[in-house]
A and B are shown apart, each in its own frame.
Chain A
Amino acid sequence: MKMTVKDEKIKNSELAEGSQEKMGFPEDEPRIGVYVCHCGHNIAGTVDVAEVAESASNLPNVVEAKHYMFMCSKPGVQLLKDDIKEKGVNRTVVASCSKNQHGRTFARTIEEMGLNKHLHQQVNVREFCSWVHKKDKDKATEKAKKLVEAGVNRARKLEEVETKKIPTTKAALVIGAGIAGLRATYDIAELGIPVYLIERNSTIGGHMTRLNKTFPTNECPQCSISPLTNGVANHPLVELYTNAQIKSVEGSMGNYEIEVEIKPRYVKDNCTSCGECEVNCPVEVPSEWDKGMSTRGAIYKAYPQAIPATYVRSKKDCIECNTCINICPVQAVDFSQEPETKTFKVGSIVVAAGYEEYDPTEIDAYHYGQEGYDDIITQLQLERMLGPTSMTGSEVMRPSDGKIPKKVVMIQCVGSRNEQVGNKYCTGVCCKFATKNAGLVKDMYPDADVTICYIDMRTPGLNFEEYYKAAQEKGVRYIRGRPSEILKDPISGDLSVIVEDTLSQTPLKLKADLVVLSAAMVPPEGIGPLGSKLKILRSKEGFFKEFHIKMNPTASSKGGIYLAGTIQGPKDISETVAHAGNAAALAAQPLVKGYIEKEMLIPYIDYDLCMDCGMCITACNPAAISMNEDGRPDVNEVACKSCGICMPACPTGAIQLLNFRDDQLLDEIVPIAGGGVVCNE
């Protein structure tokens, strides 16, 4: 169904009774109205607005030129309306503030009067002129005249742009079932939209389920998240697929088709989660979920509350002794299961693939993961040790000898704010979780020395200064200094952290029974292939890039694909939940509405000039151009974001964005550059 909104608008418009042609004005000839705004003293205090209007009135095709105190006010807008009606103005130029500020106000006005909104041209004589040339009024006026002439030149060739309605598929896909993905899934499903939730791991819940406590309230995260995990898993509109990964993504905004590969669990759904299989499994490997702080069998459940509760077999670890097959009381174990590929049709995609804890092994001086340095762990490993189901019975124990440490040193900014490892950014969460864990350790062992070595303490926001202070009051020692290295005494085997206390300018050698590295949050493994399948951009830090850091932090570079949580950059849980909620709302909008309105401000290709070189395809960020069956580039009008980057990429000028064609831009430049011949064609 392709019907244009424009047609609808004209029908409803008050002007419908008499088109301009009927009133005796030729429709094809540009009749331009120019309106210079005073903006109080903002513009008129510097620019002689009357002179600018007067000079504009002499330009070709200009039928009206006025100046007015506040063009954005109701009487100001009325000037446009009256001139369209009475003077047959069919293109408008308003010289006032920026296009972002009020361009839309005037475009909407002319649309109300039955003109296509793209026939309005905004000229910025405030930010670009009066504000920056306050000291020289004459020159500012001259410049304003040139800017207005440029605008008039541009307006002369403006073309109508059609707005199309594109029906959407009422279903969404959410990638990743951590806290962000769960939140987004639930919020979308609650609007009555079916959601396919796919998770790479065998269980849902993500990193949050692995934490011991959450700051700043020291609550149990499992208690906070389980209503959501259960709510999603049991939601009638949610189809959950674990062990699943994206295979391919086709289509564009509003209508995507996604192929998903689901790896087998090798355990059928009739599993009662009794655990007999794992108890009798002869294999013992480090548990990934527990960050290596415990072991699991080749057939296992990641953790007691895992959803789905069905056990899973790791094919690569299994020695195929068949013990589990024989021992299962309900015959649920089935090694013959095969991978399965499913195709989903959805209107929106939410990417909530999360983060990974930075692996500090590359920082040689900290010796993480090296032989003989077992007592250097990461914060996530400490969380797993403190957790209620840990192998240590929630005690802090040195991995080397199981003793309770008397001196714990935490090191901040491991993999964050570190140009040597290529991560300039601050993760922004580590100061908070280190403070949390230091405080908890101090609570458990009041006699233990707990020290945090930091570059800067960053605990902003409501409740967090108090949280930081509370830790200090408990006796957690904060030392401002980035440790240069961790040394191991070759005789005693004791670890010590070498750091300068930069507040007192004292070099220190801190003895440590246990060193905890506050490792950064980094993009998850596999983000590259996922990004290229989705065809969305990444930031230089490696996360998926948001559309606009302030105004659109959950939209990706591609229409219809949204980002939720830490896949866009490091966040804490509160921020993640809010971020995911916003992504869900945006993803749901076109699905609830049932259609997308898309302005057809798209490039056209002159196939006589085109050499099929594909440069436009390479340049196109939202991947809206592709080769068609004849080997010629084709523009996907729905996916196109009207950015125009294809134009400079084209070596022959064959691809031209509507209303930004080379000749149109040249016309605009000519008066600013000092005059010349305006293109006729």
Chain B
Amino acid sequence: MARDMIFAFFLGCLMPNRYPQIEKATKFVMEKLGYEILEMEKAACCPAPGVFRSFNKGDWMVHAARNLCIAEKMDADILTVCNGCFGTLQEVNKHLKEDENLREQVNEKLKLLGDYEFKGTIEVRHMTEVLGWDIGSWGIEDHIVRKVDLRASIHYGCHFLKPTTIRELDSSEKPTIIEDFIEVLGVEAVPFNEQLTCCGAGGGVKAYDGNASMKIFGEKMKNIDEVKPDIILDICPFCHLQFETGQDYLNKNKGCNYDYPVIHIAQLTAYCLGMDAESLGLQYQLMGKTFDFGAKVIKDKEAA
């Protein structure tokens, strides 16, 4: 059992490089909620669950185990805000805890990388899971300083819930963890057709076959556009990237005219907990640059 109320923050690759605002928002939220957030020194790529695992499962595990070992030494559970990082780290952590043979093989290889040994003392947590279940809609209410009035199309992404036998979090067919949480923030979840399908980014699709990726994404946007939400809410920087650059691509190449702001759950929660709008960094994003949360503020205790 790792220490309570302390997280080793696993940054991953996309967030610190392309969406530092999500990183900032995450730290803001977690600290507001009373958690201590620690940096993970020498943490590397998670590595991505789709591509790396498909090519070499063994080395994928060793690499992930190295990251887990860093957090074990810090005696802190890992916090991630990315479905890909969560997918890899949670799965490897579970496998290595349960399978002694696998653990021995991985530890043997870890020695080559330095002073690392997987012991199985920590958990891997996604921020959404911490918000939805540890804090909960009942617990966040005390911390809210602003309540918004928004309609959001939620995108869960793939690795957060699937495979259900490994994640053991929520139904992958009718999940409610995000819906239940954001309702308290004043966000109404607007369901849309084929809501739980892939965004088209993961599994190496975006890098390998851009056209296929955009075809999948185009379907997704068509379905979202039917219900005309105020924002698209995601929980993963890679989905975030897809929704951002994808809308831009469709506008430029397919004659679309989308401008749906893409908001990560950390950004939304941070705003409701009092972070100033500028720090949310929408002005640096491709879509909804001028989207104003503030105009829809209906409750303002005191900006923290």
Label chain B's interface by main secondary structure: loop
B194 CB within 8 Å of chain A? yes
**Interface residues as binary, A478-496 with B (CB distance below 8 Å gives 1, 0 otherwise):** 0000000101011100000
B227 CB within 8 Å of chain A? yes
Q: Which of B171, B172, B193 contacts A491 (CB 8 A)?
A: B193
A217 CB within 8 Å of chain B? no
Cα–Cα, bound, A41→B272 (Å)? 92
Interface residue total, chain A, C-beta cutoff 8 A = 9
Cα–Cα, bound, A678→B258 (Å)? 92
List the B side residues contacting A269 at CB < 8 Å.
none
A370 CB within 8 Å of chain B? yes
B226 CB within 8 Å of chain A? yes
**Interface residues as binary, B171-197 with A (CB distance below 8 Å gives 1, 0 otherwise):** 111100000000000000011111100
**Interface residues as binary, B98-116 with A (CB distance below 8 Å gives 1, 0 otherwise):** 0000000000000000000
List the B side residues contacting A367 at CB < 8 Å.
173-174
Cα–Cα, bound, A490→B188 (Å)? 14
List the A side residues contacting B172 at CB < 8 Å.
364
**Interface residues as binary, A449-486 with B (CB distance below 8 Å gives 1, 0 otherwise):** 00000000000000000000000000000000000010
Q: Do the beta carbons of A490 and B173 come within 8 Å of each other? A: no
Q: Do the beta carbons of B171 and A364 come within 8 Å of each other? A: yes
A365 CB within 8 Å of chain B? yes
Q: Do the beta carbons of A491 and B173 come within 8 Å of each other? A: no
Q: Do the beta carbons of B174 and A490 come within 8 Å of each other? A: no
Known A-B contacts A490-B191, A490-B192; the reply to A364 vs B173 at CB < 8 A is yes
A486 to chain B, nearest CB (A): 10
A657 to chain B, nearest CB (A): 40
Q: Which of B174, B192, B193 contacts A364 (CB 8 A)?
A: B174
Known A-B contacts A364-B171, A365-B173, A370-B174; the reply to A491 vs B194 at CB < 8 A is no
Q: Do the beta carbons of A491 and B174 come within 8 Å of each other? A: no
Q: Do the beta carbons of B171 and A490 come within 8 Å of each other? A: no
List the B side residues contacting A487 at CB < 8 Å.
193-194
List the B side residues contacting A364 at CB < 8 Å.
171-174
Cα–Cα, bound, A491→B192 (Å)? 7
Q: Which of A365, A370, A485, A489 contacts B193 (CB 8 A)?
A: A489
Q: Which residue of A lies closest to B195 (CB)?
A: A490
Cα–Cα, bound, A485→B162 (Å)? 15
**Interface residues as binary, A349-377 with B (CB distance below 8 Å gives 1, 0 otherwise):** 00000000000000011010010000000
A515 to chain B, nearest CB (A): 15
List the A side residues contacting B192 at CB < 8 Å.
490
Cα–Cα, bound, A367→B196 (Å)? 14
**Interface residues as binary, A548-591 with B (CB distance below 8 Å gives 1, 0 otherwise):** 00000000000000000000000000000000000000000000
Cα–Cα, bound, A438→B172 (Å)? 31
Cα–Cα, bound, A367→B174 (Å)? 9
Cα–Cα, bound, A367→B190 (Å)? 19
List the B side residues contacting A489 at CB < 8 Å.
193
Q: A residues 366-397 with Cβ under 8 Å of B? A: 367, 370
Q: Which residue of A lies closest to B174 (CB)?
A: A364
Q: Which residue of A lies closest to B193 (CB)?
A: A489
Q: Do the beta carbons of B173 and A485 come within 8 Å of each other? A: yes
List the A side residues contacting B227 at CB < 8 Å.
490-491
List the A side residues contacting B194 at CB < 8 Å.
487
Cα–Cα, bound, A487→B173 (Å)? 10
Q: Which of A365, A370, A485, A491 contacts B226 (CB 8 A)?
A: A491
Q: Which residue of B lies closest to A490 (CB)?
A: B191
A538 to chain B, nearest CB (A): 25
B140 to chain A, nearest CB (A): 25
List the A side residues contacting B173 at CB < 8 Å.
364-365, 367, 485
Cα–Cα, bound, A461→B171 (Å)? 41
A485 to chain B, nearest CB (A): 7
A484 to chain B, nearest CB (A): 10
Q: Which residue of B lies closest to A492 (CB)?
A: B193
List the A side residues contacting B174 at CB < 8 Å.
364, 367, 370
Q: A residues 81-137 with Cβ under 8 Å of B? A: none
List the B side residues contacting A490 at CB < 8 Å.
190-193, 195, 227
Cα–Cα, bound, A370→B173 (Å)? 12
List the B side residues contacting A491 at CB < 8 Å.
193, 226-227
Cα–Cα, bound, A596→B93 (Å)? 61
B198 to chain A, nearest CB (A): 13
Cα–Cα, bound, A365→B226 (Å)? 23
Q: Which residue of B lies closest to A498 (CB)?
A: B194
A493 to chain B, nearest CB (A): 11
B240 to chain A, nearest CB (A): 23
Cα–Cα, bound, A96→B226 (Å)? 81
Instruction: List 9 A-B pairs, Cβ < 8 Å.
Output: A367-B174, A370-B174, A485-B173, A487-B193, A490-B190, A490-B192, A490-B195, A490-B227, A491-B193
4 tightest A-B CB contacts, nearest first: A364-B173, A490-B191, A365-B173, A364-B171
10 additional A-B residue pairs with CB within 8 Å, beyond A489-B193, A491-B226, A491-B227: A364-B171, A364-B173, A364-B174, A370-B174, A487-B193, A487-B194, A490-B190, A490-B191, A490-B193, A490-B227
Residue numbers of A with Cβ under 8 A of B are: 364-365, 367, 370, 485, 487, 489-491
